Chain A
Amino acid sequence: MAKLNKDSLKTLSFITYFIILFVFWFILSGYLKSLLLFFGLVSVLFVFWMSYRAKALEEDSLPLKIILRLPFYWIWLFKEIFKSGITTTALIWNGKYSPQLISVKASQKNRTGIANYANAITLTPGTVTIEVDKKTFLVHALSKKLSEDLQTDDMNKVITDLDK
């Protein structure tokens, strides 16, 4: 995929976006009649035109490269959420929380990667990204163990590798 030039990459991302939209329409409706499929096509085309007009189809916002790795990343993310969820639940029940602010460095190259990392930190219970300042995040953690887990940089590496 790396050998494609910019224009064909853009066309490819348009086609992928179109397919995703149509599959989404089909999952929500479940109709197979040809007339209704035609109406679905019209509405998908309308949404496509709207997002093209809003310039939501730039390279940065629809990264084709990571789309295949995304399911594996979600499974890994769910594992992380589960682990820190157990820790947070235990902290709530036994009351041994000690909230603290820490700063975390991000090594992602583009804006999508940084947003992805900030979202992943917020999504794992026990840590919330408060402020994003270019490449450092201000993070609020519920206990010392949770903040130390974050400072081992594992999550940062996984999300940086996602975008290689």
Chain B
Amino acid sequence: MSYNYIELISLVLLAIGCFFILSGSLGLIKLPDVFSRIHAAGLIDTLGSGFIVLALIIYSGFSLLSLKLLLIPLFLIFTSPVTGHAIALFAHESGYKPKGKNKK
């Protein structure tokens, strides 16, 4: 068993990314209403995808491919808040009230 350092680093980063995606999916089921669930989806969009792309860049080595991979989080930075905001605004406009402190 002899691991390459680069493989080890990208493995750890992949595991962190997977953990954030798991937490986000758990939040999507567990949290009480639409507004709170958007937070969980945002967690997947930013940290989950960010760490996985970072791991892939380190794994593949620096080339034109890693520049292409860098474009993915760059586009997510612009598109993910727009979708989150659109869902939240529509829920707000149609009179949906966010739930307060009491669970369930």
Contacts and interface: CB of A to CB of B under 8 A. Distances in A.
Contact of B89 (A99, A119, A120, A130): A130
Contacts of B50: 78, 81
Contacts of B20: 85, 89
A97 B38 CA distance: 14
B36 A142 contact: yes
Contact of A97 (B36, B43, B46, B80): B36
A123 B77 CA distance: 7
B39 A142 contact: yes
Interface string A33-64: 00000000000000000000000000000000
- Give the size range of B's interface with the partner: 35 or more
Contact of B85 (A92, A97, A122): A122
B16 to A, nearest CB: 11
Contacts, number: 104
Nearest to B26: A92
Contacts of A30: 64
B81 A81 contact: no
Contact of B88 (A78, A93, A123, A129): A129
A142 B30 CA distance: 13
Interface in A66-100: 74, 77-78, 81-82, 85, 88-89, 92-93, 95, 97-100
A126 interface: yes
A77 B71 CA distance: 17
A41 B102 CA distance: 59
Nearest to A141: B39
A88 B20 CA distance: 10
For the complex of A and B, the 3 pairs showing the least CB-CB separation, nearest first, are A122-B81, A92-B27, A119-B81
28 contacts: A27-B71, A28-B68, A82-B47, A85-B20, A85-B43, A85-B46, A88-B39, A92-B23, A92-B27, A92-B43, A95-B30, A98-B100, A99-B98, A99-B100, A100-B98, A100-B100, A122-B42, A122-B81, A123-B42, A123-B46, A124-B46, A125-B43, A128-B38, A128-B85, A128-B88, A130-B92, A131-B92, A140-B98
